[in-house]
Chains A and B, each alone.
Chain A
């Protein structure tokens, strides 16, 4: 708090130097881990994105549902189409206040190109219990190439605040 002595530019002593070196090495390691996992790991944040508009995206989703719908199931009393697209294809989920539409039925171990976009606000795609979390924005068609490695019923929670009904926004993915 008081003024320093006039000449404070002194060499660091042994302990400081050692800690500085170790900390620097650790920081460099932290930096390298990310590209390493990018090339070697199986879980990376999707980057593929296209511009879209809510109107355009809604049309695509409706065509998709019409083509592959196999049934209907309700979530919190609201009926949703269940859609079973072929493995390897483009699959779509539409976020809007406060629904994830439609319900997808996928196959375990198969790869899908999952498109996510919003009709209105920011929403948060939070797939439970596998705990994958991505941001969904209007105007952006976000493509995640996913391979389910477990089967069962999975819930999509909205984890970006999207106004008063936010907590009611729940969706579903079924993996056979």
Chain B
């Protein structure tokens, strides 16, 4: 076995430190392993705090319980936004970047010290944000902190620390890739999953820089260094960061979709070119998405809004629609090649539904696409946005994307990281089998409850909507659907956290000896390399079922889209 080059290129004679994963046959650099573990642990911790806040704010918005008082509601809403959307997502993605730039490339971590510096800054930033939101009422400004709502300087500082930390961590991703390429750790193109992570990393870089353009002036303003800053420009910069940040989540999620599909059913991408092209579309077109959050803002022209929200965006939507076909299609081909060829959907009936990575993958794809994607495009339509802006339909949309979609996928992958990276046996396997269904089912209800409440005019971020006395009686029903969904989702969340911590904290360290967690001893990742061109092209193995599914999706998309135009046409005339 060839030895790896020294891990610290600047320390002469330093020893290399790696192990070979017996399951994936890939080299795992120990620095990378420790970094992945640290970031993943922080991710799950922040998910836990955010989840406690989630339960409490959900039981407040469910009018029947109306649990918290207004001050605590807004405080925990702020905390929930920060811990979930920023901390949980970014920590997990950084873990993914360290994984993608080392293990997947058979390479070493070339800058571990720098990566630890990033981790420490992110941790300090994240903890500080939690503390100052909980203990200083000035910082109850929601995670968006729209100027001229003024938080304390430490609040902005904690954002800046976190962002600088993340930027440093992302930089090590690029360093790793360059070093791996130069040391010829992999030949030719990088694997698709790593390519997807690279898309995420590139997006993350300019996302974080845009974020600085919003937060740094806000910080200076809170210190009294500058006397004012235009609130419209702040919103523009903030969403220049906030929206592309969602595409980072998207690119990371899709990379994980490809990974989970390979881990659980052994796919080989049907056409690498098609999939890579779809990632490239994100890179080019998604950066204009800031407009989505400004469609109802003063001072911007129709042309600016329409071009930014559409031209660019629909090509990014095209990217997603391509993945939405290529992943199920690859799964279908792989399953058909195993002999499950009956009818259009025989392959689905024979899929490993008990394998948590598989169920998490399917739930993630289905809710992300059918609920999150469709509602997203509709909300992002310039005129229709007027019906939706800041109503409950908004959190309804993003709990279908970033939660049902991204979070479920992250959870699914975590189950495999435990044996492969933490090198601990996965405990409570039965829980893990059920967890994606409970979390996903709950989230689906929660999203639908939010969306239908929003359709009736219920606004987001509002402690007591009955105050205005305008909501119709049916809101009680839709809020109950939302509330029941929230409780289920929280149960699913608790199950996830319990499985992770019980597995990680108990039992001895053992080298994994198989890949699948519950459905047999097979190793789909290695089997996938045996899928020949011939099998891929076999007439019997063509992804006809997936093809039918995407067309059904398109029909639903069109129905929802036109219904919204119809709704818009019924309201007051306005221009």
Binding site for B on A (CB under 8 A): 1-4, 6, 8-10, 12-13, 15-16, 18-20, 22-24, 26-28, 30-31, 33-35, 37-38, 41-47, 49, 111, 116, 120-122, 124, 126-142, 144-150, 155, 157-168, 170
B573 near A129: Cβ-Cβ < 8 Å: no
Given known A13-B271, A133-B390, A168-B467, contact A43–B383 (CB-CB < 8 A) = yes
B 127-149 contacts with A by CB, 8 A: 137, 140-142, 144, 146, 148-149
Subset of 30 A-B contacts with CB under 8 Å: A1-B259, A1-B263, A2-B525, A3-B186, A3-B187, A6-B188, A6-B189, A13-B271, A22-B554, A30-B314, A41-B569, A44-B383, A45-B382, A45-B383, A111-B573, A127-B572, A128-B457, A130-B571, A133-B391, A137-B231, A139-B231, A144-B574, A146-B572, A149-B571, A155-B468, A157-B465, A163-B140, A166-B74, A167-B465, A168-B467
A16 near B270: Cβ-Cβ < 8 Å: yes
- Interface residues of chain A: helix, strand, loop or mixed (majority): mixed
B230 near A139: Cβ-Cβ < 8 Å: yes
B202 sits at the interface (CB 8 A): no
**Complex contacts, A165 vs chain B, CB 8 Å:** 70
7 closest cross-chain pairs (CB), A and B: A159-B459, A8-B272, A142-B298, A27-B314, A147-B573, A133-B389, A159-B390
A16 to B315, CA, bound (A): 16
Nearest chain B CB to A37 CB, angstrom units: 5
Interface size range of chain B in the complex: 35 or more
B284 sits at the interface (CB 8 A): no
B554 near A122: Cβ-Cβ < 8 Å: no
Residue of A20, A35, A128 most packed against chain B (CB within 10 A): A128
B148 near A121: Cβ-Cβ < 8 Å: yes
Please encode chain B, from 136 to 164, with 1 for each CB lying within 8 Å of some chain A CB and 0 for all others.
01001110101011000000000000000
**Complex contacts, A127 vs chain B, CB 8 Å:** 572
B377 near A8: Cβ-Cβ < 8 Å: no
Nearest chain A CB to B570 CB, angstrom units: 9
B381 sits at the interface (CB 8 A): yes
A60 to B292, CA, bound (A): 32
A4 near B457: Cβ-Cβ < 8 Å: no
B 469-507 contacts with A by CB, 8 A: 469-472
Q: Contacting B318 at CB < 8 Å: which of A12, A23, A144, A147? A: A23
Which chain A residue shows the least CB distance to B326? A16
Nearest chain B CB to A57 CB, angstrom units: 12
Which chain B residue shows the least CB distance to A121? B149
B465 near A3: Cβ-Cβ < 8 Å: no
Q: Interface stretch among B34-42, B44-52, B190-198, B355-363?
A: B190-198
B149 near A162: Cβ-Cβ < 8 Å: yes
**Complex contacts, A122 vs chain B, CB 8 Å:** 146, 149, 231, 235
A4 near B311: Cβ-Cβ < 8 Å: no
Nearest chain A CB to B430 CB, angstrom units: 27
A170 to B471, CA, bound (A): 13
Nearest chain A CB to B530 CB, angstrom units: 12
Given known A1-B104, A38-B306, A167-B462, contact A131–B387 (CB-CB < 8 A) = yes
B441 sits at the interface (CB 8 A): no
Given known A157-B459, A159-B390, A168-B467, contact A140–B302 (CB-CB < 8 A) = no
B 434-463 contacts with A by CB, 8 A: 455-457, 459-463
A133 to B528, CA, bound (A): 51
Please encode chain B, from 503 to 544, with 1 for each CB lying within 8 Å of some chain A CB and 0 for all others.
000000000000000000000010011000000010000111
A164 near B140: Cβ-Cβ < 8 Å: yes
Nearest chain A CB to B319 CB, angstrom units: 10
A145 to B391, CA, bound (A): 22
